[in-house]
Amino acid sequence: MLVLGIDCGNECTGYGLVELDSGQELRCIDYGDITLSRETPLPDRLAAIFDQLSTLIEKHHPDRVAIEEVFYAVNVKSALKLGQVRGVAMLAASLHKTYVAEYAPLRIKSAVVGYGRAEKQQVQVMVRSLLRLKEIPQPPDAADALAIAICDLHTATTLSQQILVK
């Protein structure tokens, strides 16, 4: 199973593709970020994010897309912009007929670190370890996106095992 994790942001949107292979091993396929100037008008930024996420989905054909739920914003304006980026990410996945899962930050941290209130650096270190990477993925938004993908894979695996037990 291949999952595209997306860490939505107003200026930097991280992405990470993680595969769970037949041997139940996690493997990093790709990661990076979509960084746009805050000087670029918001509609143009949203279009660029949509285009780049669509290109990633077309190139890799993930089975699922996982996105972090909105949990905190400095102000209402920031929350609205973040919501717009999330909407564009969901639209890109939906138009490519790809299932979208959403996860709360506490759940992502629990799935990756084992503790829902883990610090950002702890999550980054565990992402590096779980994916057997030489270095912590940069930028931090990409590491967060990989963590979101790992969370989704852990969740999907757990749910499929529960179905088999029933």
Based on the residue annotation, tell me whether 39 is a catalytic residue of this protein: no
Is the CB of residue 111 less than 8 Å from the CB of residue 155?
A: yes
**Which one of the listed residues 25, 30, 141, 152 is annotated catalytic?**
141
Q: Which position among 33, 44, 63, 68 bears the catalytic label?
A: 68
Q: 3-class SS at 100?
A: strand
> Which of 7, 33, 144, 152 is an active site residue?
7
Can 51 be counted among the known catalytic residues?
no
List the beta bridge partners of residue 26.
Answer: 20
Q: Where are the beta strands (DSSP E) in 11-150?
A: 12-20, 26-35, 64-68, 99-103
Q: Is 141 a catalytic residue?
A: yes
Q: State how far the Cα of 58 lies from the Cα of 52, in Å rounded to an integer.
A: 10
Structure tokens that stand for 13 in this block: 């949107």
Q: Would you please indicate which residues are annotated as catalytic (active-site) residues? A: 7, 68, 141
